[in-house]
Amino acid sequence: MEAAYLQYLLQFKRPSGTSRGVLLDKETFILTLSENGKKGVGECAVFRGLSFDDTPDYEEKLKWLCENINQDKAVLQEELKEFPSIWFGYEQAIQNLKYGGSIYFPSEFTEGKSAITINGLIWMGDAGYMEEQIQEKLEKGFHCIKLKIGVDWKSEHIILQKLREKFSRDQLELRVDANGGFSKEEAITVLQQLADLHIHSIEQPVKAGNWQDMAELCASTPTPIALDEELIGITDSEKKKQLLETVKPQYIILKPALVGGFSGSDEWISLAESQHIGWWITSALESNIGLNAIAQYTFTKKNPMPQGLGTGALFVNNFESDLELRNELLWFKI
């Protein structure tokens, strides 16, 4: 088997606001495996500024993988333990090499018989821009919307109040993602305000790493709390278990590129379910290559909740998509 990679810079159609600033582009790496005339493609979707493996020797580790591609899988996994996005790309490429075409996980989804319900994502911005995005999602038929908050809570709260006045919780499920934007004291107030508006859940109200603060919030919160960034960088099984037992969140959110690919996600799901913790899967600004693989994997997990998958529509220079959004349903193109 032979392996090669190329660096690719995805350009946003419109600068995208997050709690970490405004994003203009997104770097990624495409890994290709070749064997006996067959090809497998995967995306090593490093997320600069967020990925645990955003390190100066990232590309060196990718070169190492390509040079050692024929080593035992267990050896590769151990070497790449600290590089979850590279391992994620490897797992994709191996799956694609096995099935060919654009297939990673054959199912009724890849046969075009079933779809995945997703939430509509609202990017941060001024009130006018956020309301414009919300209106667009509602017109497209979304019943679950996720808003990024934690930059200007006063304005964000008003937007949520307006939404709830127009749409009851039976008509519209609202999720929010704070990206660690609040202090523990602020979070206590915000959690109650969200509960008053019947918000489904809040992701990462306080910064990752504050297990005790998060545990105290989760123990008494009137709004379900989901861990997101909190999972990043934890590669040891015992520590994963310890986190969930300590914090006892209502949900965890899995970004395969950030938590060790499909195998890493499988482990988190198993641990969460054993402790009766809910979960869903979210993409992390992958290109259409990684997004296609995540969507196919997500379908096989049979989670009926709306999933946090993107559509690839954010970038001007994305690869051709194998996915198609119809209303709030993500379909595989046949």
Distance, CA of 107 to CA of 296 (rounded, Å) = 8
Give the three-state DSSP class for 210.
coil
| 333: annotated active-site residue | no
12: left (phi over 0), alpha (psi -120 to 50) or beta: beta
Q: Which of 26, 137, 240, 255 is catalytic?
A: 255
Q: Which of 39, 148, 154, 240 is catalytic?
A: 148
Give the three-state DSSP class for 106.
coil
Q: How many helices (H) and strands (E) does the chain have?
A: 10, 13
Give the CA angle between residues 45, 237, 212 to the nearest 5°.
95
Q: In b/e form, how buried is each residue of 215-238, taking b as 16+ CB within 10 angstroms?
A: eebbeebebbbbbbbbbbbbbeee
Question: CB within 8 A of 233, min separation 6: which ones?
Answer: 52
DSSP state, residue 279? E
| 255: annotated active-site residue | yes
Give the three-state DSSP class for 292.
helix
Residues with catalytic function: 148, 255
